[in-house]
């Protein structure tokens, strides 16, 4: 399968349900550098399918992040094997573009005759044969909750807890503007089904390794704000990552600290990767400052208030280009106000 979109219409829950019921073997994938919504979505749907008696493999290009190893059933997340799986269906979860699944993961799933794409990113390129995209949903995990409950699929404890973590982490612990009454209704239902809120929130948010604090100290030393205080950014050089022995997940969520500065409308995190590319994470507190559109200028994507880019270095050149684009949009919004 290529990443050229062949279908523009969303599948219904019933159509997705037909795929899940009519096939026996599945491989579930999520994006490189997976976060809580990516891994949570894989576990949620994967364990629902296992409860139906299906054969399921869960793979991620970068494997299971250390900070999500507390999730029940997470030991089923595998790094891609050298040889492709002999499976009928591949399901891509929480992944806006086909290449972002990773080359080794795509090779492992290459024998699948049918591809399903379930996601909530507005920038999703609509790859695959069966597509279920809801950009109004705060997390792919919430789409899966709606799918599972609507179809009457099993919800074992692994699925229940994974959905809760998927949605919690992608909504800033139910704080971001994308959070709706429906999200809280879902959380309440999961709690009624047995989610231990105290334990799961503690495992999600209160068990950071000390190196994450060291990373925060290093990042604060690079923090800069624009003269008007509307844009804040910091950066991570690759040698700092090596010196501190950082894992990819160690930087997850740290951008929210500078996003929270009073007066800041856009926060940006620049990260120098080992391959020389630059990873850019952006957060906005103003929908008029749509960071997804800014990211799209550089081949990235995401959401209006949260987006990312992976672009060519060097870091100083990439930083200047992205900050210039943000500045132009900030100035446009200021003139319109």
| Contact partners, residue 332, CB within 8 Å, separation at least 6 | none
User: How many structural domains does the chain have?
Assistant: 2
Q: Which of 232, 321, 240 is nearest to 273 (CA)?
A: 240
Q: Per residue in 281-306, pLDDT tens?
A: 999 999 999 999 999 999 999 999 99
| Percent of the chain predicted with pLDDT > 90 | 94
**Do 172 and 223 reside in the same domain of the chain?**
no
pLDDT at residue 5 greater than cutoff 60? no
3 in any annotated domain: no
Q: Per residue in 248-265, pLDDT tens?
A: 999 999 999 999 999 999
**Do 214 and 197 reside in the same domain of the chain?**
no
324 in any annotated domain: yes
In this predicted structure, what is the pLDDT of residue 7?
52
pLDDT at residue 63 greater than cutoff 70? yes
Structure tokens that stand for 225 in this block: 């704000």
Q: For every residue of the chain, which 3-state class applies, written as one string?
A: CCCCCCCCCCCCHHHHHHHHHHCCEEEEEECCCCCHHHHHHHHHHHHHHHHCCCEEEEEECCCCCHHHCCCCCHHHEECCCCCCCCCCEEEEECCCCHHHHCHHHHHHCCCCCEEEEEECCCCCCCCCCEEEECCCCCCHHHHHHHHHHHHCCCCCHHHHHHHHHHHHHHCCCCCCCCCCHHHHHHHHHHHHCCCCHHHHHHHHHCCCCHHHHHHHHHHHCCCEECCCCCEEEEEECHHHHHHHCCCHHHHCCCHHHHHCCCCCCEEEEEEECCCCCEEEEEEECCCCCCHHHHHHCCCCEECCCEEEEEECCCHHHHHHHHHHHHHHHHHHHHHHC
pTM summary value:
0.90
| Percent of the chain predicted with pLDDT > 70 | 98
In this predicted structure, what is the pLDDT of residue 4?
47
CATH code, domain carrying 191: 3.90.1640.10
Tell me the pLDDT of the chain averaged across its residues. Answer: 95
How many C-beta neighbours within 10 Å does residue 337 have? 6
Q: Per residue in 114-173, pLDDT tens?
A: 999 999 999 999 999 999 999 999 999 999 999 999 999 999 999 999 999 999 999 999
8 in any annotated domain: no
**Do 201 and 126 reside in the same domain of the chain?**
yes
Q: Per residue in 230-250, pLDDT tens?
A: 999 999 999 999 999 999 999
In this predicted structure, what is the pLDDT of residue 2?
45
Which one of 166, 188, 205 terminates a domain? 205
**Do 170 and 255 reside in the same domain of the chain?**
no
**Do 179 and 280 reside in the same domain of the chain?**
no
Q: Which domain holds residue 144?
A: 13-205
**Do 195 and 55 reside in the same domain of the chain?**
yes
Q: Per residue in 167-218, pLDDT tens?
A: 999 999 999 899 999 999 999 999 999 999 999 999 999 999 999 999 999 9
75 in any annotated domain: yes
CA dihedral 295, 288, 175, 126 (to 10 degrees): -40
pLDDT band at 336 (very low <50, low <70, confident <90, very high): confident
5 in any annotated domain: no
């Amino acid at each position: 399968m290529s990443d050229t979109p062949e279908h523009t219409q969303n599948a219904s829950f019933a159509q997705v349900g037909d795929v899940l019921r009519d096939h026996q073997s599945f491989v579930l994938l999520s994006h490189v550098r997976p976060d809580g919504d990516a891994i949570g979505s894989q576990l949620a749907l994967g364990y629902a399918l296992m409860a139906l008696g299906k054969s399921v493999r869960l793979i991620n290009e970068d494997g299971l992040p250390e900070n999500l190893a507390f999730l029940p059933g997470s030991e089923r997340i595998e790094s891609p094997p050298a040889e492709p799986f002999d499976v009928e269906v591949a399901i891509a979860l929480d992944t806006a573009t086909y290449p972002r699944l990773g080359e080794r993961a795509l090779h492992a799933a290459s024998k699948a005759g049918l591809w399903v794409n379930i996601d909530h990113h507005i920038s999703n390129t609509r790859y695959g044969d069966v597509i279920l995209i809801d950009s109004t949903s705060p997390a792919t995990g919430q789409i899966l909750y709606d799918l599972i409950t609507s179809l009457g699929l099993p919800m074992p404890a692994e699925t229940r807890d994974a959905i809760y973590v998927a949605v919690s982490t992608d909504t800033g612990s139910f704080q971001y503007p994308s959070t709706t009454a429906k999200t809280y209704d879902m959380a309440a239902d999961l709690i009624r089904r047995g989610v231990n809120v105290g334990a799961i929130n503690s495992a999600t948010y209160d068990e950071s390794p000390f190196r994450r604090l060291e990373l925060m100290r290093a990042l604060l030393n690079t923090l800069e704000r624009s003269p008007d205080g509307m844009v804040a950014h910091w950066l991570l050089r690759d040698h700092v990552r090596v010196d501190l022995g950082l894992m990819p997940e160690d930087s997850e969520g740290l951008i929210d600290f500078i996003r929270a500065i009073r007066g800041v409308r856009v926060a940006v995190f620049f990260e120098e990767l080992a391959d020389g590319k630059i990873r850019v994470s952006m957060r906005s507190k103003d929908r008029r400052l749509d960071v997804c559109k800014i990211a799209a200028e550089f081949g990235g994507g995401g959401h209006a208030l949260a987006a990312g880019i992976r672009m060519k270095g060097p870091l100083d050149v990439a930083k200047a280009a992205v900050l210039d684009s943000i500045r132009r949009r900030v100035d446009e919004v200021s003139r319109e106000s």
